[in-house]
Structure 1
């Protein structure tokens, strides 16, 4: 073995700070004696060898003596009847019942949500991704479910602008609209997923939605995608209707889902709609 290989093995055995200190002192190719002298000098000056990694304390485990049973166990009737020469076909057939403990039922249901959220008035409802105010982090995600009217029936809706389209599960739709299958339209060539979980689409429901508000309600006509393997008990409102009706709510600071006009403008229409409908300053009429 060459002297260079011996020096490399010595450095590997040192490791850590000691190896770095020896390399700094022996920059040029040195002999094994020079490496050993540098190592001894470094240990003497810095006492690097006295420092070691912290050892974890292992509690003493008491060994319990096993009590050996002196009584002979009785052999079962099945073992006594079956001999070594018995063919496999002659063995008795018995039912085996196995019980499996299910730890997480909703592992493959990422769209699962709790039903503990209270309904919030439309004036105080926020979008799902709105950052809470300072000191009110506990209210995050607790004020985005409000009530709407769907075909004159009250329903719960989730104000989630991150959704691609408005969707609902067939279980919740059966509660608010028992005859939903009679109004279902076919859907083809569309694939939706939620956190790598494929959604099974049943069809499209063409319906009217009303956001009630004392200052003036908003009535929109939207198409809701009905899905089979949904567990949330509300309607997931997507951002498709925002583009259709020109509602600009995503760029506001507070992003409240309000309709009332006040000093802090929280609800507005996009510039495209303002060019079509211009509000007259003299008369409360609209002109093209």
Structure 2
């Protein structure tokens, strides 16, 4: 999926298994060169990834606009910045999906094929 951040398109991963929204330092360095000026301190926490060894270096808040035909969704997630991560884009965790009413469990048993929704 593609979202808009600072008026530009960026890759977006919605991960129902993630406990934190994440963005890689390398990705921020490439697309948002001044991001460190707005970096927020992070509390001491034991951060682990099952797929890669990463180092937590702070958090950032970026407005993300998720395009939708019935109206865009604007969110301001606090994303953990990871060094040595291979994520190319923004990963949105479960708590933000629920907070904004995104149905991560398909509770209404709707299935989409193309533009048609089937129940």
- Give TM-score scaled by structure 1 length: 0.36
Counting helix residues as a fraction of each chain, which structure ranks higher?
Answer: 1
Q: Which residue is equivalent to 1:165?
A: 20
Describe how 1:91-130 pairs up with structure 2 within 5 A. none
Q: Deviations over 1:147-192 (max 9, x none)?
A: 1011222211112211111101111111221111011000012222
The answer as to whether partners of 1:149 and 1:155 remain within 8 angstroms in 2 is yes
Query: Equivalent of 2:57, from 178, 202, 206?
Result: 202
- For the 8 Å contact 2:52–2:85, the answer to whether it is kept is no
Matched, 1:249 2:104: yes
Query: Unaligned 5+ residue runs, structure 2?
Result: none
1:223 Cα deviation after fit: 0.6
Residue 255 of structure 1: how far off its partner (Å)? 6.6
Query: What residue is the counterpart of 2:78 in the other structure?
Result: 223
How far apart, CA to CA, are the structure 2 residues paired with 1:188 and 1:255? 40
Q: Relative contact order (C-alpha < 8 Å, sep 6+): which is higher? A: 2
User: What is the aligned partner in structure 2 of residue 239 from structure 1?
Assistant: 94
8 Å contact kept, 1:159–1:237: yes
Regions of 4+ moved over 6 Å: none
Deviation at 1:248, TM superposition (A): 2.6
In the alignment, is the contact (CA less than 8 A) between 2:98 and 2:104 conserved in 1? Answer: no
Unaligned ranges ≥5, structure 1: 1-145, 266-288
SS in 1 for 2:76: strand
3-state SS of 1:236 partner:
strand
Report the aligned-residue RMSD.
2.4
